[in-house]
A and B are shown apart, each in its own frame.
Chain A
Amino acid sequence: DSGVTQTPKHLITATGQRVTLRCSPRSGDLSVYWYQQSLDQGLQFLIQYYNGEERAKGNILERFSAQQFPDLHSELNLSSLELGDSALYFCASSVAAGANYGYTFGSGTRLTVV
């Protein structure tokens, strides 16, 4: 157990639907990062939050949004889902903002859009 909790582990949904992925960071970590990993692909950065505020944005689609709540858990909302959105979505956390600290990853949510 890495200390980063992601739910659900698996999600199967139809095209056009909306889903919410949830992440609880490791205790004491203030930064949360969301990454997308498609089949046999690398890790694509989506968005970062630090202590409730958005800090950095990657190539995140307009159909996707995220937020971090006062208790530091984060949610990634994916809407108008397309087949190409099928992927593993990882949440990671680190103790502070910035890329000078190692990330702790959760076990991911596997999204299948049918």
Chain B
Amino acid sequence: GQQVMQIPQYQHVQEGEDFTTYCNSSTTLSNIQWYKQRPGGHPVFLIQLVKSGEVKKQKRLTFQFGEAKKNSSLHITATQTTDVGTYFCAGPRGNEKLTFGTGTRLTIIP
């Protein structure tokens, strides 16, 4: 079945450094979504990408959808302590539900 893998599983960065997480699907996706889960919190929807090669920005966050629509990345520029959390990508499995990636846990070293 479809799997959505993310790398790295963990990332520790100094505050102010950049951070990137990568998401890879075994199948072509109609869309990819990104979520952030703060420690002790619940996943929060960040963005959805639909088009091949699409790039979207939200302040210091840049999201990309691969040309083949099988991979995606999230890049954070100049990380801040508020960026701490686990970032999940998610893609449709069948038509009805999202399959979530394994997640990347980001820790910021002040």
The contact of A103 among B30, B91, B93, B98, by CB within 8 Å, is: B98
Contact of A2 with B42 in the complex, beta carbons under 8 Å:
yes
The contact of B31 among A2, A42, A100, A104, by CB within 8 Å, is: A100
CB-CB < 8 A to A48: which residues of B?
96-97
Contact of B88 with A105 in the complex, beta carbons under 8 Å:
no
Write the nearest CB–CB distance from A49 to chain B, whole angstroms: 10
- Interface membership of A14, Cβ < 8 A: no
Contact of A58 with B97 in the complex, beta carbons under 8 Å:
yes
Write the nearest CB–CB distance from B90 to chain A, whole angstroms: 8
Contact of B45 with A97 in the complex, beta carbons under 8 Å:
no
Chain B residues with a Cβ closer than 8 Å to the other chain, count: 25
**What number of A-B contacts does a CB cutoff of 8 Å give?**
64
Contact of B95 with A98 in the complex, beta carbons under 8 Å:
yes
Write the nearest CB–CB distance from B105 to chain A, whole angstroms: 8
Complex-state Cα separation, A92 to B8, whole angstroms: 26
The contact of A42 among B45, B91, B103, by CB within 8 Å, is: B103
Interface of B is mostly: strand
Write the nearest CB–CB distance from A7 to chain B, whole angstroms: 14
Complex-state Cα separation, A99 to B102, whole angstroms: 18
Contact of A99 with B98 in the complex, beta carbons under 8 Å:
yes
The contact of B99 among A2, A45, A97, by CB within 8 Å, is: A45
CB-CB < 8 A to A35: which residues of B?
100
CB-CB < 8 A to A43: which residues of B?
43, 88, 100
Per-residue interface assignment for chain A, residues 33 to 53, with 1 indicating a CB less than 8 Å from any chain B CB and 0 otherwise: 101000000110100100000
A-B contact pairs, 15 of them (CB 8 A): A42-B88, A43-B100, A45-B97, A45-B100, A56-B96, A97-B95, A98-B92, A98-B95, A99-B91, A99-B95, A100-B92, A103-B45, A103-B98, A105-B42, A105-B43
Point out residues on A near B: beta carbons under 8 Å: 2, 33, 35, 42-43, 45, 48, 55-56, 58, 90, 92, 97-100, 102-108
Point out residues on B near A: beta carbons under 8 Å: 30-31, 33, 35, 41-45, 48, 88, 90-103
